[in-house]
Structure 1
Amino acid sequence: MKSSLKSFLFAFLLVVLTGNARAQQTAEAPGFEVEFETFTLDNGLKVIFHVDRSDPVVAVALTSHVGSAREKQGRTGFAHLFEHLLFLESENLGKGGLDKLSARIGGSGANGSTSRDRTNYFQTVPNDALEKMIWAEADKLGYFINTVTEPVLAKEKQVVKNEKRQRVDNQPYGNTMYVIDKNLYPENHPYNWQVIGSLEDLQNATLEDVKEFFNQWYVPNNVVLTIAGDFDTAQAKQWVEKYFGEIKRGPEIKDLEKRPANLQQTKKLYYEDNFAQLPELTMAWPSVPSYHKDSYALEVLANYLSEGKNAPFYKELVANKKLTPNVQMFNYTSELAGQFMLQVRAYDGTDLDKVHSAVEETFWKFEKEGISEKDLKRIKAGQETAFYNSLSSVLGKGFQLAQYEIFANDPGMINKEINYILAVTPQDVMRVYKKYIQNKPFVATSFVPEGQKELALENSVAAEVEEEEIVMGAEQEFNLEEEVTYNRTPSSFDRTVEPPYGPSPQVKVPEIWDQKLENGLEVYGIKNSEVPLVQFILEIKGGMLLEDPSKIGVSNLLANMLTKGTKNRSPQELEEAIELLGANIRVNATDEKVIISGSTLAKNFEATMKLVEEILLQPRWDEEEFALAKQQVINRIQQQKASPDYIVSNEFRKLIYGENHILSHNNLGTESTVEAISLQDLKDYYARNLSPHLASFLVVGDIENEAVIAEVKDITENWSVKNVIFEDLPAVLPPAESKVYFYDVPGAKQSVLHIGYPALAETDEDFFPATVMNYRLGGGSFASQLTQELREGKGYTYGIRSGFNGSTFTGPFLISSGVRSNITFEAVDLVKQILRNYPENFNEQDLEVTKGFMIKSNARKFETMGSKLQMLQEISNYDKPMDYALQQEEIVRNITVPEIKALAQKYINPDKMYYLIVGDAATQLDRLEDLGFGEPVLLNPSEK
């Protein structure tokens, strides 16, 4: 990942959810608390320990109190740039740094994230590698900056710029937050610019600038080290003192003053988005910083107004006026200020003035009605479940403790914040609405498709957005092979010696129970009592496989409708019943299944299963909800047309499976097939195809198997077995020779690549060995050749991966990436070379790295409830033995270099693959003929 925006939003939401949830939990279990201990080294480094013996793993996180808010105007993006640089090399780890170490020790993959106010670096590893991680993190902080040279900086600039193109410039609505923040905060406010920075600032950054920034902010007295998991605290303290203790303290760092946005008048802006297919309205009001006393009531306000069918915005904008499929609202808090956000992506051709009028009408109704005690109870029940989910990994616990230490100056806030949340009343919610929202100025952005500015809010002015021009050969050249010397940082001991492993972890393979019912339904379960939760999945074979090709999308619409009320409950009543239990229940359809999944508090498992039974066996078939569901699906299909990532996925399916194969379709369908579907089509599909003998129920949680079986039997008692007929599918074969296909997205800032062919089903004997073979090619993230050469060596991409993706049917071998537009040919040609050479250049060292990671990472394999559920899915879906994980470990232990080479020769042939590129044809198409695979085929010539 190593990203900024998505990682930050995850961390932000995690804090909000866990905080709010804690209130309900403490109300029912006042004795609950997260235990931890803290100490501070002489140099100012703050350390937090949390012990969790449930799995033989440990999470290590280094969090620096520096984000984009500590940057200077004209030198933005530095904090995020360091998030990247700190993984590359340090004086004692050498080139490859933490990434190379991670692969050897079986880590989760060294990663990081950047926000406005902090940057963190984290990884979960088997607990025998704890000393190695402490050594490595200390090297990052105290023995790193000398290794940053001009070529290293030049290369990483290209990686970060590729990330910005991928996440922002090449995505629909990608510049929304840029426009919001530029207008919500004055120019001299540290939240005026984006975390990722600007392309110009990144390009202009000098080595001197970068070193100055590091030396100011990456110092022990501005950092928190968190260690959580199964470890000996006394030994860990000695290691922390040894490796971190002699790093010099930095200059004193003063806290920044709180600076809420002081917006004096409403601002309305519009932007014609090259990628957008639908108009989108975003509104932002100034609110409060993190942990402000009003933040808790604002969270409830956002949840109440926008979440679910009982939400006022849903009732007015979605159900009544039918302007949009959904409304999003959240209170985005940061250290210095906050902003209360509302976002509506409207249906095609909708005037955003209508949306804004509906928003105002909803606010007026809320002013009269407020929020009820029952709604508060419903919201807090869901937050309790979210809280427990946030504690399902040691890394999640570590994140929370560091967050509280930095922004609340007290890690003990993890056990105190509940009091503030519990104190929220309906009167508080109305008070903060009136204080921050009612009749207050806001920033509104209208992002509309090109040529449709008439859909923008009235009196909007054009927003200024920096557009990158595609120029061939514009990027800075660099040579990473140059010999570089630097003065080493002195130390009292030889830090080049990597610490030894500790005692080998005792891998805890979960005990699985299973039972087959008389009607053919299979039940698989794992008891897990770490948190009082249960997660479950009911899978029913079928999905798109059982659809009429002329009406693709039936199973997806059916899944959508199953949660839209039951025989005796309206959609609103069903949703409320689920939320009052602190549960969530989802239904979705895939290519091969209809799936009902969810989680609930263990004490409410029986009541939750009763609702699952209603959803499955007593659908409501509401005509109005069906019409709304069709409209929402068509909206999603229209949105996908705007996204290069969706375009490449949908077009690649067609190449892999061919036009006569059901799996060549997107299971959403097309606008025309969805329009053709009637409610009777859903009823017919339901009556013919949902059968218990095609189903399996998988459960992980704090519950006995007898209780699970009893509930599943109750569900299936009135569920009849049907004679379901699956059509034989045509065989899929690789192309006889490679061919290049191109889909034109004019002005695309990146080219999105899909390279591959139909390869293997997961049930094939070679599937897992081929996955082992692929680890060093593209499955091992920063340990893979594709990443090392295209990202680390050339700076062509933010990320690239390869893998085998089969199921019970043949699936593709796929290489996927987004590369900067002006080196499209060079990137694809380099991929082709790597594929051609891989069978020959795989060696004993590659095998050692592969085995080291795949065997050692087993210590982490069953840590979370989600990972345990995935294990049950593997067993259920592919008829794998209960101990398949141990059998796979033996395959890894025994595989040889000649066997890997044979697999590579068999399954990695660059001359028999489809090469699909989605990008700017005007600048990139013609050059691709030089790949040697003939003239590229333009897939959308009429749109060019």
Structure 2
Amino acid sequence: MKTLTRKSLFRAFLFFGLLIPFLAWGQKSGQTKLNIPFEKYQLSNGLTVVLHVDKSDPMVAVAIQYHVGSNREVKGKTGFAHLFEHIMFQRSENVGEDEFFKKIQNAGGDLNGGTGNDGTVYYEVVPKNALELVLWLESDRMGYLLNTVTPSSFANQQNVVQNEKRQRMDNTPYGFTNYVIDKHLFPDGHPYSWQVIGEMEDLQNATIEDVKNFYRKYYIPGNATLVIAGDIDPVQVKDLVEKYFGEIPAGNPVSDLPKMDVSLDQTKRLYHEDNFANAPRLTVVWPTIHEYTSDAYALDFLGELLSGSKKSPLYKVIIEEKQLAPRVMAYNNSMELAGKFTISVMANPGVDLDAVESAINEAFARFESEGFTEKDVERIKAKLETQFYQGISSVLMKAFNLARYNEYAGDPGYIEKDLASLMAVTSEDIWRVYRQYIKGKNYVMASFVPKGKPELATEGSVAAGIKEENVEQAMEAKPISSEQEGAIQKTPTRLDRSKEPLLGPEPVVTLPKIWKAQTKNGISITGIEQTELPLVQFSLILKGGQTLDDPEKPGVANLVALMMKSGTKDMTAQELEEAIELLGSSINVYAAPEAIFFEVSCLDRNFEKTLDLLGKMIFEPRWDPKEFEIYKKRTISTLTQRKASPEYQAQIAYNQILFGKDHILSFPVAGSESSVALITLDDVKKYYSSNFAPNAASFQIAGYPARKRVLASMKVFEKKWPAEKVVLPAVKSPASSEKPVIYFVDVPGAKQSVIRIGCLGLPRNHPDFYPATVMNYRLGGNFNSVLNMILREEKGYTYGASSYFNGMKNFGLFIAGASVRSNTTEESLRIFHESIQKYPTETTEEDLVFTKNALLRSNAMNFETLGSLVDILDNIALYNLPVDYVQKELDVLQKITLDEYHALAKKYLNPNRMIYIIAGDAATQLPKVQATGIGEVVQYVF
């Protein structure tokens, strides 16, 4: 379950990555043609239904958008929309406790939900034979849930949501930023003046009757849009929708809220000493306007022009020239009722935020004097076109778009107007909104500074007055047993809703056809042709990555990857960036433990031009000293900032202890502050010349281009890349732990303890790797897993607990973990230890059947997007897997027995040979952990 925010289209992927609209296209003309194939109708009770047929894959997505977010709450009763989202996953009159996830996963599907300021959405993606099951489940919780909201289930979800707040806000650097901004940007009582997750006090004081009244008012058919998209027969689907949703009472109509755009009569400056921040951060926010207005579209462009590229004035002044920060963002966020424009600067450690404020003003002055060109505007529009296509690569994304447009624009097909409005933005529009909303206008400025350094805040700032929770004295809602609560009273219905629909015939899943080739100079090429959209996604992988770094100077591979975008022989970094964006393409380069990745997406018509730019980046790197110093300083600053995060501290401790401090993989890929400070441009060039060779490279592509066209386009890589050979050195395998040891990392004042548990696992290509992954599914690989059900659903100690096997080329890891409320650290640790210890003997045949069903049936959804196809090809290249490895793993899954399952668990899950990492408040939790008796307790210092 997620909390959602809607940013501008440039930041739309933050809202599930799904607010990019559905398009049809004409490849020959190269022009975007809008066509929205949907059917919309309404049931007699007011439920709006939208159907979209897409038979490209045997699957269906169902999304229900309820027009109820945190903006429907009132002061003193905040967080109800999000809290009820959690309750909706518990049970209903005809669906047992925690059965929603179990039934969908057993059918091979996925489900979740999210709450934002303006609405709440629930979704399922399933093989097409499970559609009736989904409609039964969704209709039961829409119309027949209220009687099941008992003191026990309510108390449990109160605890879970409070832990979610601690994890996302209270226990993370800068977690209270939006809280401070919104409280002072919007007037008291405005629906956006509180956070979606709500106030802790309100969550603790909420009553069952409070949330029941909220449900009765807003969770009604007339306040929702149901979208069914995928491989469907509309005639049959209409009958099913009427069958399951038709008799749900209509309820009282819900009126739309009026627009509530705001203005400030004065500028407000605030600061907060952040317990988890290592560096200062400045956030400046101006009130703007609600969504779907001409001004909102122009403000989106303004944000991109101010910070979205290397030529943007905020980047130029703050990062390149004054080197005050590693990153800066400017963006507009227009929502249903109002909007806001944000500039956020994550400053370098020790930087006085007065200097950052001055730099922002200097950037504005430069923007006004130098302006921007029509080419800049066209560059942004080109970027948008590709983003639109990328946002429709799955039926789920289409379902989200249709649902949201219907609820908030009144028309599922509003996409045509939405895109037209974006493409109609002019330079004059951008200047107009800059003058109307930003230039000389009042704003809210929030300085978040490290604890004990208020002098870094901007001049004139006053304390934000954040009231932080004392977790040791935290109120905990006490669930009672379901036996004490008695039987659930069922609502009389014409349909016998107690009968769960059976799954239809298993759909036939066709595995993608993979073609394989090799260039004359040794580059391995694999591809999958998919012509649903005019898109191409490809990757070029150079094996080695971080493992080729010197342990005395880690971080070189990371800087090599960063420098790949610093320009070419004939183009500066800025010119290269513009050339890529004018094509509507994106090229992302990053280093990983075992490889450097070049990940590329583009429109099909621009494939060759984009590939040519990639070639220039690889063959003709610019090695610009100025860019190198910027990247180097940015990396050091980022490493310093990350160290403040308890999650990050736990992960670094895990790596150092498991691998040993002299092992290259004990370091982050980016290195350490001290090692990066020592790296020179010559080190980067040496890594490049020694390790960039065709025999270490592989090329993976999915999308429109056929094999012949791809191979013809790769000729340039044959001509310009000499057939040199690189020998990748063997990576030293770390020693296994022989006994359980608990390492405690002190994070003073932590509201949660981050727990990481694990041991060495298996390489990705080991015969037991996939069987071990199957075995782990029941332990910690899904929502209904042993660990999550105990720690989250039964105890309410965490927002989520999980475990997984992470396979690399040479070895692998097993990791289990959770972030738990601080005062439950000791018991949570015991639960992890006991659950892992019992697991090899407690798994039943029923558990195995559930695991097989979930994984086998979900196979229908594994090949829908270009990204998922490239992932398959990347696995083949990185781990030397056979081309048909997907089929081979399916065969393993079908044949695995319970005895084999138990043997795998016994072999690879021994809690008495694992390490236990806790990053939490030592003053309150260390003595309790020492009393567990699990193993020796060591206070770990980096």
User: TM above 0.5, one fold?
Assistant: yes
Q: TM-score range by the shorter chain?
A: over 0.9
1:645 aligns with 2:647: yes
What is aligned with 1:767?
769
Amino acid at match of 2:686: D
Query: Contact 2:22–2:401 at 8 Å: present in 1 too?
Result: no
Deviations 1:293-320 (A, max 9, x none): 2111110111111112121211111111
**Range moving further from structure 2, 658-667 or 169-178:** 658-667
Deviation at 1:625, TM superposition (A): 0.8
CA distance 1:26–1:383, shift in 2 (3 Å): farther
CA distance 1:321–1:20, shift in 2 (3 Å): farther
Amino acid at match of 1:796: Y
Instruction: Work out the CA distance in 2 between the residues paired with 1:428 and 1:11.
Output: 25
What is aligned with 1:233?
234
SS at match of 1:155: helix
**Range moving further from structure 2, 588-597 or 385-394:** 588-597
What is aligned with 1:269?
270
What is aligned with 1:677?
679
Deviation at 1:45, TM superposition (A): 0.4
Deviations 1:851-910 (A, max 9, x none): 110110001010111111111112222222222222211211111111111111111111
Question: TM-score, with normalisation over the residues of structure 1?
Answer: 0.97
SS at match of 1:281: strand
CA distance 1:113–1:295, shift in 2 (3 Å): same
Aligned residues: 939
What is aligned with 1:310?
311
**Range moving further from structure 2, 406-415 or 380-389:** 406-415
Deviation at 1:17, TM superposition (A): 6.9
SS at match of 2:516: strand
Deviation at 1:550, TM superposition (A): 1.2
**Range moving further from structure 2, 692-701 or 348-357:** 348-357
CA distance 1:691–1:326, shift in 2 (3 Å): same
- Give the counterpart of 1:561 among 563, 572, 585: 563
What is aligned with 2:346?
345
- Give the counterpart of 1:80 among 79, 82, 88: 82
Deviations 1:569-595 (A, max 9, x none): 011110111011110111111111111
| Equivalent residue runs for 1:638-717 within 5 Å | 638-717=640-719
What is aligned with 2:800?
799
What is aligned with 1:208?
209
CA distance 1:580–1:530, shift in 2 (3 Å): same
1:741 aligns with 2:760: no
Deviations 1:433-477 (A, max 9, x none): 111111110000000011111111110110021201121684232
Residue identity over aligned pairs, in percent, reads 46
What is aligned with 2:856?
855
**Range moving further from structure 2, 595-604 or 886-895:** 886-895
Query: Contact 1:155–1:792 at 8 Å: present in 2 too?
Result: yes
What is aligned with 1:431?
432
What is aligned with 1:593?
595
Amino acid at match of 1:39: Y
**Range moving further from structure 2, 473-482 or 616-625:** 473-482
**Range moving further from structure 2, 676-685 or 476-485:** 476-485
SS at match of 2:853: helix
- Give the counterpart of 2:42 among 40, 43, 50: 40
Deviation at 1:245, TM superposition (A): 0.4
Query: Contact 1:284–1:341 at 8 Å: present in 2 too?
Result: yes
- Give the counterpart of 1:573 among 572, 575, 579: 575
Query: Contact 2:519–2:718 at 8 Å: present in 1 too?
Result: no
Deviations 1:191-212 (A, max 9, x none): 1100000111001001111111
Query: Contact 1:776–1:846 at 8 Å: present in 2 too?
Result: yes
SS at match of 2:102: helix
Instruction: Work out the CA distance in 2 between the residues paired with 1:919 and 1:725.
Output: 43
Amino acid at match of 1:814: I
- Name structure 2 gaps, 5 residues minimum: none
What is aligned with 1:454?
455
Deviation at 1:12, TM superposition (A): 6.3
Instruction: Work out the CA distance in 1 between the residues paired with 2:858 and 2:65.
Output: 24
What is aligned with 1:938?
939
Query: Contact 2:536–2:703 at 8 Å: present in 1 too?
Result: yes
Amino acid at match of 1:230: D
Deviations 1:600-631 (A, max 9, x none): 11001110111011100101111111111110
Instruction: Work out the CA distance in 2 between the residues paired with 1:756 and 1:440.
Output: 53
Deviations 1:297-345 (A, max 9, x none): 1101111111121212111111111111221111111110000111001
Deviation at 1:29, TM superposition (A): 2.8
Amino acid at match of 1:401: L
What is aligned with 1:584?
586
Question: TM-score, with normalisation over the residues of structure 2?
Answer: 0.97
Instruction: Work out the CA distance in 1 between the residues paired with 2:741 and 2:855.
Output: 34
What is aligned with 1:510?
512
What is aligned with 2:548?
546
Query: Contact 2:841–2:902 at 8 Å: present in 1 too?
Result: yes
SS at match of 1:819: strand
What is aligned with 1:913?
914
SS at match of 2:913: coil
SS at match of 1:318: helix
| Equivalent residue runs for 1:368-383 within 5 Å | 368-383=369-384
What is aligned with 2:101?
99
Amino acid at match of 1:907: Y
Query: Contact 2:6–2:116 at 8 Å: present in 1 too?
Result: no
Instruction: Work out the CA distance in 2 between the residues paired with 1:717 and 1:131.
Output: 56
What is aligned with 2:608?
606
Instruction: Work out the CA distance in 2 between the residues paired with 1:174 and 1:21.
Output: 37
| Equivalent residue runs for 1:36-435 within 5 Å | 36-108=38-110, 110-435=111-436
What is aligned with 2:630?
628
CA distance 1:727–1:511, shift in 2 (3 Å): closer
Deviation at 1:267, TM superposition (A): 0.4
| Equivalent residue runs for 1:771-920 within 5 Å | 771-779=773-781, 781-920=782-921
Instruction: Work out the CA distance in 2 between the residues paired with 1:930 and 1:730.
Output: 36
Deviation at 1:727, TM superposition (A): 3.4
Instruction: Work out the CA distance in 1 between the residues paired with 2:139 and 2:468.
Output: 40
Amino acid at match of 2:57: D
Query: Contact 1:743–1:938 at 8 Å: present in 2 too?
Result: yes
SS at match of 1:720: coil
Instruction: Work out the CA distance in 2 between the residues paired with 1:750 and 1:265.
Output: 37
Deviation at 1:661, TM superposition (A): 2.1
CA distance 1:32–1:474, shift in 2 (3 Å): closer
Instruction: Work out the CA distance in 1 between the residues paired with 2:56 and 2:283.
Output: 44
Instruction: Work out the CA distance in 2 between the residues paired with 1:632 and 1:333.
Output: 30
Deviation at 1:21, TM superposition (A): 10
SS at match of 1:917: strand
Query: Contact 1:21–1:385 at 8 Å: present in 2 too?
Result: no
Deviations 1:541-583 (A, max 9, x none): 1111111111100110011011011111011110111011110
- Name structure 1 gaps, 5 residues minimum: none
Deviation at 1:15, TM superposition (A): 8.5
Deviations 1:346-397 (A, max 9, x none): 1111111111111112112222333311001101111100000000011111
Query: Contact 2:7–2:334 at 8 Å: present in 1 too?
Result: no
Instruction: Work out the CA distance in 2 between the residues paired with 1:12 and 1:934.
Output: 42
SS at match of 1:416: helix
Task: Please provide the CA RMSD for this pair.
Answer: 1.9
Instruction: Work out the CA distance in 2 between the residues paired with 1:510 and 1:727.
Output: 34
SS at match of 1:63: strand
SS at match of 1:18: coil
SS at match of 1:765: coil
Instruction: Work out the CA distance in 1 between the residues paired with 2:467 and 2:230.
Output: 45
Instruction: Work out the CA distance in 2 between the residues paired with 1:382 and 1:66.
Output: 32
CA distance 1:27–1:297, shift in 2 (3 Å): farther
Deviations 1:642-661 (A, max 9, x none): 11111111111111111232
Instruction: Work out the CA distance in 1 between the residues paired with 2:727 and 2:876.
Output: 24
SS at match of 2:753: strand
CA distance 1:13–1:36, shift in 2 (3 Å): same
CA distance 1:209–1:864, shift in 2 (3 Å): same
Amino acid at match of 1:125: V
Deviation at 1:723, TM superposition (A): 4.4
Query: Contact 2:6–2:335 at 8 Å: present in 1 too?
Result: no
Deviation at 1:178, TM superposition (A): 0.2
SS at match of 2:512: coil
Instruction: Work out the CA distance in 1 between the residues paired with 2:360 and 2:641.
Output: 22
Deviation at 1:503, TM superposition (A): 2.9
Deviations 1:213-260 (A, max 9, x none): 111110111111111111111101000001000000111211111001
